[in-house]
Amino acid sequence: MEVRTMEMEHKREDGVLTIVLPERIDPTNASDAEAEIERILSEGEGEVIVFDASNMNYISSAGLRVIIKVVKQGRNVTVKDVSSDVYDIFKVSGFTNFINVEKRAA
């Protein structure tokens, strides 16, 4: 029996799959986040993926690996509504060089 410990809100609209990320993705929940994202992705193909980071206040390297796995699948990925602190993590890690990361409007 499968036990899911994390559920992420998501919606599909006009070929865009939006997944709302949790407050944190760190070593304690990265594998659950990865499993939930994979479950959501398995429900449909070929979509543009938008990760909504409006609730997120921290992402660790383990969380970044979850995002990069989706990118490595050849998917078009955007991370939107990112706080300044989380944006800095994406920028310092070099993610802003190959993923569209959009800061939250001030």
Query: What is the model's pLDDT at position 1?
Result: 42
Q: Are residues 22 and 51 in contact, defined by beta-carbon separation less than 8 angstroms?
A: no
Query: What is the model's pLDDT at position 6?
Result: 79
| Residue whose tokens read 């921290």 | 58
Span 5-33, mean pLDDT?
A: 93
pTM, to two decimals: 0.91
Rounded Cα distance, 14 and 50, in Å:
12
Burial, 26: exposed, middle or buried (Cβ in 10 Å; 0-12, 13-18, 19+)?
middle
Q: Which helix (H) or strand (E) holds 16?
A: strand 16-20
CATH class of 16-103: alpha beta
